[in-house]
Chain A
Amino acid sequence: MALTGVSLSVAQGELVCFLGPSGCGKTTLLRIIAGLETQSEGRIVQNGRDISTLPPASRDYGIVFQSYALFPNLTVEGNVGYGLVNRRLARAAIRLRVSELLTLVGLPGSEGKYPSQLSGGQQQRIALARALATSPGLLLLDEPLSALDALERIRLRGEIRQLQKKVGVTTIMVTHDQEEALSMADRVVVMNKGALEQVGTPREIYEQPASPFVADFVGRVNVLNAVSLGGGRYQVGRLAIEGGNGFDVGTRVRLYLRPEDRIVEGNLDGESNRVSGLVAKVEFLGGHCLAEVKVPEMEGQALSVFFSLNQVRELGICEGAHLELALRPDRIRVFASAS
């Protein structure tokens, strides 16, 4: 995977997530930072030290892999203390540090067990303890949760974040799971095709996507083809929609709007961007529903709209129901059409 134009700085104690589809170069970037792969050009500086050409062992980081890479023939103590033994610490000091780390990751007393006796989540914690044992200045996590089942994943998400804050270690995590990235990171780096698409806080990424790719990749989004009318107004079918930044009159654009960025309740009289249509389909998603609304005036372009279960009941959302709603102009992002 070729990376181009990657420029990024990570602050002390920050948790940064590299997020992107598979093949976007996020793991390559992490491995370059770790020295496991070599960049053809560019520099990497850690704490003012240029580490661009140093071999992995001369860099300062701890790493946790998706596979955990625990040594199967060593006990938990042997694994966590693996990097400590090499520092010629006294045996008692190592033992103390190991038990301290095991307490930190919530598995006190498991020193004598072998990795095969632990569950996936427990193995992950041991891998984390091992990476933190030598007190590295940087923690690298390569898809650390993707081998776990859904419940364990959500629980460990919180635990890792808490642990990271407690230890205060600067952390870079690679993930393809947007929920994971949004819920854990201080800042998210969205990557695509070897380039950085956007760097920002989770809310910035979600609410103000900088490119169509980010809008598409993070969360659900409606995409409407439109033509600019100037002054921040856009022609969608026979409708004029207001929102977003200005484009020259006649420019072909696409409007990006999240399914929840609409007003459906109360009096819509004063609202702009009012549309009406028929509910064509309701998709039940557990806590909420996604309704597909056919808007005749948009000439075949349908809208996906979120409803809570209560709203579904109160507004009588069902297939064939007539629906009035207003699209929030402040939330509509406009990008020029690709072609």
Chain B
Amino acid sequence: MSAVLTLPHAARFRVSDLVARALLVLAGVGLAVFLLAPMAAIFMRAVQDSNGEFVGLRHFVAYFATPALARSVWNSLWVSFLVAAITVPAAFMFAYALTRSCMPYKGTLRLIALIPLLAPSLLPAIAFIQWFGNQGALKGLMGGVSIYGAPGIVLSEVFNTFPHALMILIAALALADGRLYEAADALGTRRLRKFFTITLPGCKYGLLSAFTVVFTYTISDFGAPKVIGGTFNVLAVDVFKQVIGQFNFSIGAVVGLLLLVPSVVAFGVDWIVRRRLTANLTARSVPFAPKPRTGFDGLMFAYCALVCLALLAVLGMAAYTSLIQLWPYNLSFTLKHYHYALVAGDYAPAFWNSLKMGAWTAVIGTVFVFSTAYLLEKTRGLGPLRPILRLLALLSMAVPGLVLGLGYIMFFNHPSNPLNFLYQTMAILAISTVVHYYTSGHLTAVTALKALDDEYESVSASLKVPFYKTFWRVTVPVCLPAILEIARYYFVVSISTLSCVVFLYAPHTILAAVAIMNMDEAGDVGPAAALGTLTVLASVLVCVLYALVTNVFLTRSQAWRLNPEKS
């Protein structure tokens, strides 16, 4: 029977192996050019003067010798720490209510709590100014303390990071083994003791992970401190001021590197923690199912409702501001801010550009992320390249958007770079966003691919079917929910991202988040709020579309997914 196999046959399939390797190398080159090279450019720039001469650590010395700049390091650290110290317990209690109580409306509450993910990070800052600023509706509550500066930054970042911490903590709390609680009950253990001996130890890695994520997000966020920070300097704003305000790229690179340090440390911590997290639950575990307890459930509901109300109040203020003439003098309804933001104003193309960029990022990002994850997980050969690629895929998370953007200017704006043509195009905005948000998409893809049988590719090879056919006929259809999820994620993050693109936009490629920042700076709060509201609405629309597609279309076209009665 082996005579069936003729030589050209054999040769053809070795070609398919070569194709897989070539594509993997290509993915590696892509990540090297668009992640590693810009980072290397920053490192180089930090130790060079403006003529490209090596000056060692002189810029670092100069930076720390400037008291105002050096103070930013301390400011950034304590503000981020404070935000994490507030957000993590608040999100933990919320997650606890969702996973461990029988309160009503869990789905709605969870949905509302995740809404901040859809807003650009500077939108809450604008809303908080409306609430607590000099003309604020609730200024009296501040007791004479100005919202501009640390208080405003902390409030805005708590709003921004709440859903990030919540998602991690829900996952950690959902991992609980119900048998442990039953064993404790059988031993007559009191509630509080169960909480401290089972619940907390069970999610300590989740707590740590949430803490590092919130900390990293806050220290590298640029939008909120730019809007509400006032004279309170933080590292992220320093980078911006040095580069955009003073064209001091070397000091900008130094600050960028400083910003990278806590992120990389947090990344390391998170990486170690996540590896432990998975070992928590074994196949024998039984999920914990809460029992109704009227008092406790009511208390939990009250807390969650309060949090949701607060979150909605922030967004609601932004929406309200966009619909009235001028706070607090003329509260009559108007659509003029929308008209200004979309049609009449200087930044009219911004919203459409953002939508276009979001679509590009969703397409390019999803194809690149999923294909690369597939090649990494399911093809063979090129052993040494694989761990490097995996590390790069995770490392993109550790690079703050501002730092990545700075690296992009230094690398791609260099006249001798053959990729210089990318500079000031929509493409570079999309590419930088794909790279900046690579990790999350990558992890989604890897999780979906790992759930597939490892032997599909082996079976295909034994049946003489080249890998790309199996990829197209089996892997893509089976992973379609994950692929759509990655696309949705990319769209949502790219229409609200600011830090990554703030250095890279050109007048004709200006994006919504940048326009919001500029309009706010010019005092056009109404149009800024209008554009922010539109961004949130666009994201909500995409999320609704995604839910419709996955719930209606997928269940109909993918009949095999349902597990109908055994025939």
Residue ranges of A at the interface with B (Cβ–Cβ < 8 Å): 34-36, 46-47, 49, 54-63, 65, 67-69, 71-74, 82-83, 85-87, 113-119, 130-131, 133-138, 140, 169
B201 within 8 A of A: no
**Residue from the set B455, B466, B478, B567 with the largest chain A CB neighbour count within 10 Å:** B455
Contact A56 B462 (CB under 8 A): yes
* Interfacial chain A residues near B16, Cβ < 8 Å: 57
Contact B458 A82 (CB under 8 A): no
Chain B's interface size range is 35 or more
Taken together as a complex, chains A and B put the C-alpha atoms of A169 and B1 apart, in Å, by 9
* Interfacial chain B residues near A36, Cβ < 8 Å: 458, 461
Contact B9 A58 (CB under 8 A): yes
* Interfacial chain B residues near A135, Cβ < 8 Å: 1, 4
From A69, A85, A116, A138, B453 is in contact (CB under 8 Å) with: A69
**Residue from the set B14, B459, B559, B562 with the largest chain A CB neighbour count within 10 Å:** B459
B190 within 8 A of A: no
Additional A-B contact list (10), CB under 8 Å, known A46-B2, A85-B465, A114-B560: A36-B461, A55-B13, A59-B462, A63-B458, A67-B453, A67-B455, A69-B453, A82-B463, A86-B463, A116-B560
Contact A65 B462 (CB under 8 A): no
**Residue from the set A54, A56, A59, A86 with the largest chain B CB neighbour count within 10 Å:** A56
Residue ranges of B at the interface with A (Cβ–Cβ < 8 Å): 1-2, 4-5, 9-10, 13-14, 16-17, 453-456, 458-466, 469, 473-474, 477-478, 558-564, 566-567
**Residue from the set B454, B463, B560, B562 with the largest chain A CB neighbour count within 10 Å:** B463
Contact B456 A71 (CB under 8 A): yes
Contact B1 A136 (CB under 8 A): yes
* Interfacial chain B residues near A119, Cβ < 8 Å: 566
Contact A137 B455 (CB under 8 A): no
CB distance from B228 to the nearest CB of A (A): 50
Contact B478 A69 (CB under 8 A): no
CB distance from B512 to the nearest CB of A (A): 38
Contact A60 B2 (CB under 8 A): yes
Contact B563 A116 (CB under 8 A): yes
* Interfacial chain B residues near A83, Cβ < 8 Å: 462-465
User: Which single residue of chain A is at the shortest CB-CB distance from B14?
Assistant: A55
* Interfacial chain B residues near A169, Cβ < 8 Å: 1
**Residue from the set A46, A59, A73 with the largest chain B CB neighbour count within 10 Å:** A73
**Residue from the set B4, B469, B558 with the largest chain A CB neighbour count within 10 Å:** B4
Contact A137 B560 (CB under 8 A): no
Taken together as a complex, chains A and B put the C-alpha atoms of A117 and B564 apart, in Å, by 6
**Residue from the set B5, B460, B474, B563 with the largest chain A CB neighbour count within 10 Å:** B5
* Interfacial chain A residues near B461, Cβ < 8 Å: 35-36, 55-57
Contact B17 A55 (CB under 8 A): yes
* Interfacial chain A residues near B559, Cβ < 8 Å: 114
Contact B567 A113 (CB under 8 A): yes
CB distance from A166 to the nearest CB of B (A): 15
What are the 4 A-B residue pairs with the smallest beta carbon separation, nearest first? A83-B463, A57-B13, A137-B1, A56-B461
* Interfacial chain A residues near B1, Cβ < 8 Å: 60, 135-137, 169
* Interfacial chain B residues near A136, Cβ < 8 Å: 1, 462
